[in-house]
Chain A
């Protein structure tokens, strides 16, 4: 007798027949799994990477946190990776932190580069740069611009990459949006004496990315935060989730691993959204 993995619901990637029993948005001890439950199905999402900032021109958006799901033994602790905190330094931006429950783990998204390049989406381990790492599923790493389970920068994926910024400082300049995905990277930034438009955060399957800002002069052009697994990304000018009125700042990534939007002309880049862990049993 054989069974088709395509028509038999027992083989879906979702935890068919199980109930969502626990949700964690912060690290904690886990001591309340009922007796008799020895295996749970975990969905684990890493923290988003921060966007980067540049002295002139625009930085790159942060990559989305990684996404992993599968059966695991019971663990007495859960680690939920925080999103990386964006800053106003012209340097490579920090990575998001990994999330782990039992043997299911997801890396953080990569921070934007010290340059215009956006960060890659997270794989099973946190990566640095614009190429992703292999995913928990075994899906291969992806180079920049390449769609993947964990995508490279400027590309779509389950965890998508951050959009690239633009070095041009005169005339009309538009930066790239974060990649589309389940969890999304932040938008790149534009910093120009002319009309600059920051890239929007990546559009998610469940939530929207934040809008990039647009206007004339170097006080505009921040990138929006990428959509997270549980909330929208924030628009440019909200690097920590609260509007600052400074529109060359990036936007914070949405909760559940969204990547932060980039900043231009030494504005403050958007922070990544925190990760999340779900347990089904």
Chain B
């Protein structure tokens, strides 16, 4: 099940979201707005519905 991870940066307060499987590593760790601080996890939410991957 996909998890929605919500982050805030302590440097400029940027709110940033990653949706990934729990076993996957965080993709962006440093604030992508000012490049200063590390994102801090403020909430994670299990998404009820996951869209099936399309295969051609």
Give residues in A with beta carbon < 8 Å to B. Answer: 19-29, 32, 77-82, 95, 97-98, 100, 107-108, 125-126, 230-231, 255, 276
Contact = CB atoms under 8 A, between A and B. Distances in A.
B56 A125 contact: yes
B17 A22 contact: yes
B24 A25 contact: yes
A89 B51 CA distance: 30
A85 to B, nearest CB: 12
B53 A24 contact: no
Contact of A97 (B2, B16, B55): B55
B18 to A, nearest CB: 5
Given A27-B51, A29-B49, 15 more contacts: A24-B20, A26-B19, A26-B21, A27-B2, A27-B50, A27-B53, A28-B47, A29-B50, A32-B17, A78-B19, A98-B54, A98-B56, A100-B54, A108-B56, A230-B27
B24 to A, nearest CB: 5
A20 B33 CA distance: 8
A47 to B, nearest CB: 8
Interface of chain B: mostly helix, strand, loop or mixed: loop
A264 to B, nearest CB: 28
A26 B2 contact: yes
Interface of chain A: mostly helix, strand, loop or mixed: loop
Nearest to B48: A29
Contacts of B15: 21
B51 A78 contact: yes
Q: What 7 A-B pairs have minimum CB-CB distances, sorted nearest first?
A: A25-B20, A27-B51, A20-B32, A23-B18, A28-B2, A126-B56, A24-B19
Pick the most buried of B16, B17, B28, B50: most chain A CB atoms within 10 A of its CB. Answer: B17
B17 A26 contact: no
Contacts of B2: 26-28
B56 A80 contact: no
A108 B28 CA distance: 23
Contacts of A255: 24-25, 27
Nearest to A105: B54
6 contacts: A23-B16, A23-B18, A26-B20, A27-B50, A28-B51, A79-B51
Contacts of A81: 53-54
A22 B51 contact: no
B42 to A, nearest CB: 14
A277 B29 CA distance: 16
B12 to A, nearest CB: 10
Interface in B1-56: 2, 4, 14-21, 24-25, 27-28, 32-33, 47, 49-56
Contacts of A77: 51
Contacts of B20: 23-26
A19 B34 CA distance: 10
Nearest to B51: A27
B51 A23 contact: no
